[in-house]
Amino acid sequence: MNTINDTNFNFPKQKHLYKGKVREVYNINDNLLVMIASDRLSAFDVIMPKQIPFKGQILNQIAEFMLHATKDIVPNWLLACPDPNVAIGYLASPFKVEMVIRGYLAGHAWREYRDGKRILCGVAMPDGMKENDKFPQPIITPSTKAENGLHDEDISREAIISEGIVSKNDYLVLEDYTRKLFQRGTEIAAKRDLLLVDTKYEFGKTPDGKIVLIDEIHTPDSSRYFYADGYQERQNNNALQKQLSKEFVRQWLIEKGFQGFEGQQIPEMTDAKIEEISNRYIELYENITGEQFVKANTDNILDRIEKNVTGFLNNNAIIS
């Protein structure tokens, strides 16, 4: 089955190409960005050797769904999705932080808590909690936005402002937008009998100074979901939560002795494991959107993308 590992297109009025861990971003005339969601899988800031079928399409279409569902409360960059794997939007200069918000003690926060820490990114976490308990109020725990090959690092609100990474006025807007988006995401998830556990948002500033939401939101790569049905019973019984997120990939890697540290070897992913991961991504898509996932034709996937993007750009005068 064809998957997208790498692209190297030359679109009309293209200026340059940036390759992230999962997405590849084409600058069009310093006006638009063409963001292509690959099928690469990243965990612990390391790109896995094998791709996951339909993962890019799933991420792109969930992000499109969620950007449309939140644009009334927070402005975003999205203009159109002319291909299942592609989002096109207006250029914005990204802030060099990721706004992580957590409603529950899970994942990285739990691992820090389990090791005895009670302060995360300058935010206090209450004593007496256990894994997957709900915080009294969601906490914002930002991280630096690392360059390729490097790990994102926890950072406090005070450090972000004092080090001049983001101005105080802008940071207050980022916090306000983050809380509003998480509340809306929580409400959307609840309608599908899901709990939005934690997530991250990225923001940028347009040339006219407007702060906008960029990149993906509420996808399995950027978010963690639990099934609401039976959540409290599982907590009461100290049982594992049933979840839809990329955390199951991280847990599998941890069990195999890999957490992205130097000298560790990436475990071999069998065809069966790759199919399982793909099916889990499809499951999340259908659960969070309430829509059946329709697999795009992947016979000539790169040709398809190039045709759809080029056609869109040629038919829209906005790139000039």
- CB neighbours of 225 closer than 8 A, spacing ≥ 6? 189, 194, 195, 196, 197, 243, 244, 245, 284, 287, 288
Q: Which of 141, 149, 97, 150 is nearest to 119 (CA)?
A: 141
In order of their start, the domains of the chain are 14-92+270-319 (3.30.200.20), 94-248 (3.30.470.20)
CB atoms within 10 A of CB 97: 22
Predicted confidence band of residue 250 (pLDDT cuts 50, 70, 90)? confident
Predicted confidence band of residue 195 (pLDDT cuts 50, 70, 90)? very high
CA gap 162, 155 in Å, rounded: 11
Predicted confidence band of residue 248 (pLDDT cuts 50, 70, 90)? confident
Q: Look-up: residue for tokens 């790139």?
A: 319
Query: What confidence tens digit (pLDDT) does each residue in 153-189 have?
Result: 999 999 999 999 999 999 999 999 999 999 999 999 9
pLDDT of 136 reads 97
Query: What confidence tens digit (pLDDT) does each residue in 197-246 have?
Result: 999 999 999 989 999 999 889 988 889 999 999 999 999 999 999 887 77
pLDDT of 284 reads 82
Asked if residues 227 and 202 have their Cβ atoms less than 8 Å apart, the reply is: no
